[in-house]
């Protein structure tokens, strides 16, 4: 059974230039339109299985908060529908809705009442809430006197103490100090283990990878990518990197017969398989095949291959001239094999150049024209996989004295 089900969920806001327009439109019963439409969320369908965690990522204004508010039931969808099963508990936009004049205690009781927990039951849970929030005496002071950290701590404590089936968290984890964040994550982990459903959004992609089973990438109100968390986060990261560098526009070159050698075909494929591919798996092989034409053989040519990540980080470059390989001096092809490609998930570009016998003059080049994507199913972050192993051992005690000396304690 799904804990959250959304079908073609859309939210459109009507923007009125001034309040009179709203009235005018109402009076003419919409025969004339006085508003502009803003689609905060467009046709989003997804579901979250009971007990799984969905992370929401995307740029600011991509519709993440709108989506969370729709699922929480604070906003009504303009079209489509969303269904949740069980008790839903939410922290939207930095803290739940507290009344600033009420004390922490009163607000906790109020939140409980809203979620259908009798005040007596909530009062019983208060000591635990206060302990988790670590706000001490402030529990009896108006919430308006709280620091933002205290506010969020209390909100998080209240929202998670009501034993929800579905927990919705909007950016709450980005507030508070490291220590509190750690405790929030611990609690979320405990929730996950207890089989609760969690829907949360964060700009901390590392957190998403770590906590979420699945992820949803929203872009301009639409779902750009959805599925397994690390893959979706990978796509989003690629998109972020790509957006950061201005695209190098490839000059429109005349391809075709010239007096000099030229590259006529480049292909990325797996060993022993001649079908072109654009997706490869970390640890498996990749072959770059470069075909070229030499109009006036024999001409000595060299082939250079350069791999970039899509944010312009140069990863590896090599050429036949630096490895003492002699490509055919007439039209022909060379193959470059990477037997165990260590690159981790992301998008990469291949540039190919055709050089003269010294490797100095460039006959022809195809900068960043060939793209491929890496995927991996292991737990690893970064650019490439480095061979490694771990060792762990306990501290060795010497003469009965602990090897670790605590401050204020001197070694005899």
Binding site for other proteins (CB under 8 A): 13, 19, 22-23, 26, 69, 72-76, 88, 90, 92-93, 95-102, 106, 109-111, 113-114, 119
Q: Which is nearer to other proteins, 88 or 334 (CB)?
A: 88
Could you tell me the smallest distance in angstroms from the CB atom of residue 308 to other proteins?
A: 45
Six token digits for residue 65: 């908060």
Q: Which is nearer to other proteins, 172 or 294 (CB)?
A: 172
Q: If we measure between CA atoms, which residue out of 214, 161, 165, 160 comes closest to residue 50? A: 165
Q: Which is nearer to other proteins, 151 or 370 (CB)?
A: 151
CB of 22 or CB of 241, closer to other proteins? 22
Least CB distance from residue 173 to other proteins, whole Å? 16
**In the complex, least distance from residue 33 CB atom to other proteins, rounded to whole angstroms:** 17
- Judged by beta carbon, residue 23 or residue 245, the one nearer other proteins is 23
* Chain centroid to CA 42: 20
Q: How far is the CB of 52 from other proteins (least distance, A)?
A: 23
Say how far apart CA 148 and CA 244 lie, in whole Å.
Answer: 32
CB 318 within 8 A of CB 304: yes
Burial of 48 by CB count in 10 Å (0-12 exposed, 13-18 middle, 19+ buried)? buried
Closest contact distance (angstroms) between CB of 58 and other proteins is 20
Q: Tell me the closest approach of the beta carbon of residue 286 to other proteins, in angstroms.
A: 50
Minimum distance from residue 74 beta carbon to other proteins (Å): 5
Is 151 or 217 the residue whose CB approaches other proteins more closely? Answer: 151
Helix pair 148-161, 119-133: axis angle to 10 deg? 130
Q: Pick between residue 111 and residue 269 the one whose CB is nearest to other proteins.
A: 111
Our CA angle for 244, 248, 254, nearest 5°, is 165
If DSSP states are collapsed to H, E and C, what string results for 107-157? HHHHHHHHCCCCHHHHHHHHHHHHHHHCCHHHHHCEHHHCCHHHHHHHHHH
Rounded Cα gap, residues 108 and 278, in angstroms: 54
- Looking at the Cβ atoms of 124 and 371, the one nearer to other proteins is 124
CB of 88 to other proteins, least distance (A): 8
Residue nearer to other proteins on the CB measure, 168 or 301? 168
Q: Contacts from 81-85 at CB under 8 Å and sequence distance 24+? A: 81/6, 81/7, 81/8, 81/9, 82/4, 82/5, 82/6, 82/7, 82/9, 83/4, 83/5, 83/6, 84/3, 84/4, 84/5, 84/166, 85/1, 85/2, 85/3, 85/4, 85/50, 85/165, 85/166
Q: Return contacts of 125-131, CB within 8 angstroms, 24+ apart.
A: 125/161, 125/162, 128/161, 129/154, 129/157, 129/158, 129/161, 130/104, 130/157
DSSP state of 192: H
What minimum distance in Å lies between the beta carbon of 97 and other proteins? Answer: 4
Minimum distance from CB of 63 to other proteins (Å)? 14
CB of 40 to other proteins, least distance (A): 10
Nearer to other proteins among residue 151 and residue 280 (C-beta): 151
Closer to other proteins by Cβ: residue 113 or 314: 113
* Residue 341, C-beta contacts closer than 8 angstroms, at least 6 positions apart: 280, 282, 283, 284, 285, 286, 374
Query: How would you list the strands of the sheet with 35-49, edge to edge?
Result: 35-49, 2-16, 79-84
């Amino acid at each position: 059974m799904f804990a959250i089900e959304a079908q073609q969920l859309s939210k459109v806001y009507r923007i009125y230039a001034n309040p009179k327009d709203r009235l005018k439109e109402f009076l003419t019963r919409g025969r004339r339109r006085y508003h502009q439409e803003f689609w905060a969320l467009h046709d989003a369908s997804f579901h979250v299985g009971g007990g799984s965690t969905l992370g929401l990522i995307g740029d600011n204004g991509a519709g993440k908060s709108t989506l969370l508010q729709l699922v929480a039931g604070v906003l009504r969808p303009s079209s489509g529908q969303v269904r949740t099963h069980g008790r839903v508990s939410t922290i939207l936009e930095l803290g739940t809705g507290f009344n600033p004049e009420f004390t922490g205690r009163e607000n906790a009781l109020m939140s409980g009442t809203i979620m259908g927990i009798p005040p007596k039951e909530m009062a019983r849970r208060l000591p635990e809430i206060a302990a988790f929030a670590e706000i001490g005496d402030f529990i009896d002071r108006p919430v308006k006197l709280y620091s933002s950290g205290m506010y969020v701590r209390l909100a998080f404590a209240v929202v998670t103490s009501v034993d929800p089936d579905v927990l919705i968290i909007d950016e709450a984890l980005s507030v508070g100090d490291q220590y509190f964040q750690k405790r929030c994550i611990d609690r979320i982990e405990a929730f996950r283990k207890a089989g609760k459903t969690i829907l949360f959004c964060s700009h901390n992609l590392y957190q998403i990878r770590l906590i979420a089973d699945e992820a949803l990438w929203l872009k301009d109100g639409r779902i750009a990518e959805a599925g397994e968390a690390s893959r979706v986060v990978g796509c989003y990261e690629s998109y972020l990197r790509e957006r950061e560098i201005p695209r190098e526009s490839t000059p429109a070159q005349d391809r075709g017969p010239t007096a000099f050698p030229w590259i006529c075909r480049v292909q990325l494929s797996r060993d022993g398989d001649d079908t072109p591919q654009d997706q490869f798996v970390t640890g498996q092989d990749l072959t770059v095949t470069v075909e070229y034409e030499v109009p006036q053989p024999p001409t000595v040519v060299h082939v250079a291959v350069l791999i970039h990540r899509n944010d312009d980080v140069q990863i590896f470059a090599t050429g036949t001239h630096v490895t003492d390989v002699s490509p055919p001096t007439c039209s022909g092809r060379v193959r470059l094999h990477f037997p165990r490609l260590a690159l981790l998930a992301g998008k990469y570009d291949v540039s190919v150049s055709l050089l003269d016998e010294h490797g100095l003059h460039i006959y022809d080049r195809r900068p960043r024209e060939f793209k491929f994507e890496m995927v991996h199913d292991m737990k690893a972050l970064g650019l490439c996989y480095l061979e490694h192993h771990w060792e762990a051992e306990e501290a060795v005690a010497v003469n009965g004295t602990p090897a670790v000396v605590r401050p204020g304690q001197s070694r005899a």
